[in-house]
Structures are given as C-alpha cells and as structure tokens.
C-alpha cells in the first residue's frame, strides 16, 4: 500500500492517478484533495472516508504573502489477521496556527474509524513543534523518532514527515484488547539519486505486523 501526498491533480486527475498507480503495479482507490491511497493486488481497503480540511487561504512569511491549496485527508480500513487497522494520509499546510485547526479535523476522521490507526503524512513541522506534541497527547507513537531527516531528498536536514501509530488495537474475533500490532519504520532500499528524482521528500517505509500470539 502506498500513501501519497501531492498526487497528480488538475486536468485529468483520476486518469493521471490511475496511470501513476499502474506504473507501480498498484491500483488507485481513494483520495481527498492531493492525498491519495494506492493498493497492491490482494489488499482490500474498506470503509473509505475522506475529508476536506479547512485551512487559511492566505499565509504570510516575513514580507511574503501567498495562497494555499485546499487541504484534505483520506483513509480506510485493512485487515491484518483478525485485527482491523485504519490507514490515514494527510498533508498539513504552511500556516503555523492553521495546522492546529487542520489536525483537529484529521484526528476526528482518524477516531471515526473506531479502530487503531496509522497516521502518515507531511506535517510541515519538526518534531519539537505543537503538532507533534498534540499527537503525543493523543497517545500516538512516533515510529520515526530515530529515522533521521526526511527533507529535502537531495540534502536532508530536517524531519517534517511523520508515521504515527495509535495504541490499544482491538481484535474482531475476540474481546481481548491486548495490542497485537507491532510496527517499525525503515529506509526505502533505493539510491539517493533515485529518491531525489522521485520527490523533494524522502519516503517512509512502515512495516506493520501481528504479534506471535495473534
């Protein structure tokens, strides 16, 4: 499964995204704004939900004033054995205070699935910022705490992308609420030149697995 920010848009949006997915041997299944989810054969994404997120239309930095494209977040549920987990992708804006309001909308969508969830995306903020603090307060585990910088892909110097896992997963086949999920984030096995050609951010590879007891 691939969770994409800044997917192709404007004219021929769906055609472009389907072509992008096909180039990876995957299917384009869901999107909101410029966030998209692609899946490989054999993976079914159910209960898909997307939401446009409010963000300030204008942002200011020093003497520079610019507009922002609309925000959005999208997710769905996959099954790992008897465990249901939602996967959600987002892309926060460049307005510092606006990101707080966006995050509240995103967490509302995440919690609406009623399952443990993996939240990924470009948070446009380093880990000492208020967004990361709010996610920690929500009980999410930062999977990339030791992963190193993610931006930019040519000469990475800061981490502004996140992959965070909620706690307390439940099982569909049992009342036992012990967490059966484990997760880790690792680097994508590709050359720096290829990664820089693909995006201005480094990708994150998240591996979710069930505990041996499941």
Average pLDDT over residues 150-162: 93
- pLDDT value of residue 30: 96
In a domain, 168, yes or no: yes
Share of the chain above pLDDT 70, in %: 87
- Residues 34-60: b if buried by 16+ CB within 10 A, e if exposed: bbbbbbeeeeebeeebbbebebbeebe
In a domain, 17, yes or no: no
In a domain, 31, yes or no: no
Answer yes or no: is pLDDT of 142 > 50: yes
| pLDDT tens digit sequence for 39-49 | 999 999 999 99
In a domain, 69, yes or no: yes
In a domain, 85, yes or no: yes
- pLDDT value of residue 169: 44
Domain membership of residue 120 as a residue range: 44-210
**Are the beta carbons of 31 and 76 closer than 8 angstroms?**
no
CA 175 to CA 123: how far, in whole Å? 35
Least confident range of 65-69, 70-74, 123-127, 152-156: 65-69
| pLDDT tens digit sequence for 66-88 | 677 778 999 999 998 888 999 99
CA 54 to CA 33: how far, in whole Å? 11
- pLDDT value of residue 214: 44
In a domain, 106, yes or no: yes
DSSP, res 178? S
**What does pTM read for this prediction?**
0.88
In a domain, 92, yes or no: yes
CA 132 → CA 23, 99, 100, distances in Å? 34, 11, 10
Domain CATH number, residue 179: 3.60.10.10
Answer yes or no: is pLDDT of 173 > 70: no
Answer yes or no: is pLDDT of 5 > 90: yes
Least confident range of 5-9, 106-110, 132-136, 172-176: 172-176
Which is it for strands 161-165 and 27-32: parallel, antiparallel or unpaired?
unpaired
| pLDDT tens digit sequence for 29-39 | 999 999 999 99
Opening angle at CA 181, ends 188 and 203, nearest 5: 20
Q: How many domains does the chain have?
A: 1
Average pLDDT over residues 105-115: 96
In a domain, 171, yes or no: yes
């Amino acid at each position: 499964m691939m969770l994409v920010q800044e997917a192709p848009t404007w004219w021929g949006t769906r055609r472009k995204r389907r072509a992008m997915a096909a180039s990876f041997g995957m299917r384009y299944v869901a999107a909101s704004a410029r966030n998209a989810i692609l899946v490989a054969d054999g993976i079914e994404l159910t209960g898909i939900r997307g939401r446009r997120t409010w963000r300030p239309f204008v942002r200011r930095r020093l003497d520079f004033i610019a507009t922002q494209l609309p925000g959005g977040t999208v997710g769905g549920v996959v099954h790992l054995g008897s465990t249901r987990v939602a996967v959600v992708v987002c892309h926060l804006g460049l307005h510092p205070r606006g990101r707080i309001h966006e995050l509240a909308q995103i967490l509302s969508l995440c919690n609406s699935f009623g399952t443990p969830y993996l939240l990924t995306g470009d948070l446009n903020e380093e880990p000492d910022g208020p967004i990361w603090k709010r996610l920690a307060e929500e009980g999410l585990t930062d999977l990339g705490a030791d992963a190193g910088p993610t931006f930019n892909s040519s000469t990475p110097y800061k981490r502004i992308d996140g992959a965070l896992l909620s706690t307390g997963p439940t099982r569909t086949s049992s009342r036992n609420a012990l967490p059966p999920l484990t997760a880790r984030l690792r680097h994508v096995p590709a050359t720096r030149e290829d990664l820089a050609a693909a995006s201005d951010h480094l990708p994150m590879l998240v591996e979710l697995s069930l505990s041996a007891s499941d």
